[in-house]
Amino acid sequence: MLLQVPGVLTKAEVAQVRARIDSAEWADGNATSGSQSALAKVNLQLPEDSSAAREAGAFIREALTRNPLFMSAALPHTVYPPLFNRYGGGQAFGDHIDNALRFHRDTGVRIRTDLSATLFLAEPEDYDGGELVIEDTFGLHEVKLPAGDLILYPASSLHRVEPVTRGERVGSFFWIQSLVREDARRTLLFDMDLAIQKLAQGAGQADPAIVSLTGAYHNLLRMWSEL
Q: Least Å distance between CB 37 and Ni ion?
A: 7
Residues 190, 127: Cα–Cα separation, whole Å: 33
Residues 209, 220: Cα–Cα separation, whole Å: 17
Q: Least Å distance between CB 98 and Ni ion?
A: 4
Please, which residue, 35 or 201, has the CB nearer to Ni ion?
35
Among 48, 98, 149, 162, binds Ni ion (CB under 5 A): 98
Closest residue (Cβ) to Ni ion? 98
Please, which residue, 29 or 57, has the CB nearer to Ni ion?
29
Residues 66, 178: Cα–Cα separation, whole Å: 17
Evaluate whether 168 touches 87 at the Cβ level (below 8 Å): yes
| Residues across the chain | 227
Selected range binding Ni ion among 5-13, 95-103, 122-130, 218-226, rule: CB under 5 A: 95-103
Is 114 near Ni ion (CB under 5 A)? no
- Any residues with CB less than 8 A from the CB of 198 and at least 6 apart, and which? none
Selected range binding Ni ion among 27-35, 93-101, 124-132, 200-208, rule: CB under 5 A: 93-101
- Any residues with CB less than 8 A from the CB of 12 and at least 6 apart, and which? none
Number of Cβ within a 10 Å radius of residue 30: 16
Q: Least Å distance between CB 66 and Ni ion?
A: 26
Please, which residue, 115 or 189, has the CB nearer to Ni ion?
115
Q: Which among 93, 84, 92, 95 has a CA at the least distance from the CA of 165? A: 92
Q: Least Å distance between CB 102 and Ni ion?
A: 11
Q: Which residues bind Ni ion (CB under 5 A)?
A: 98
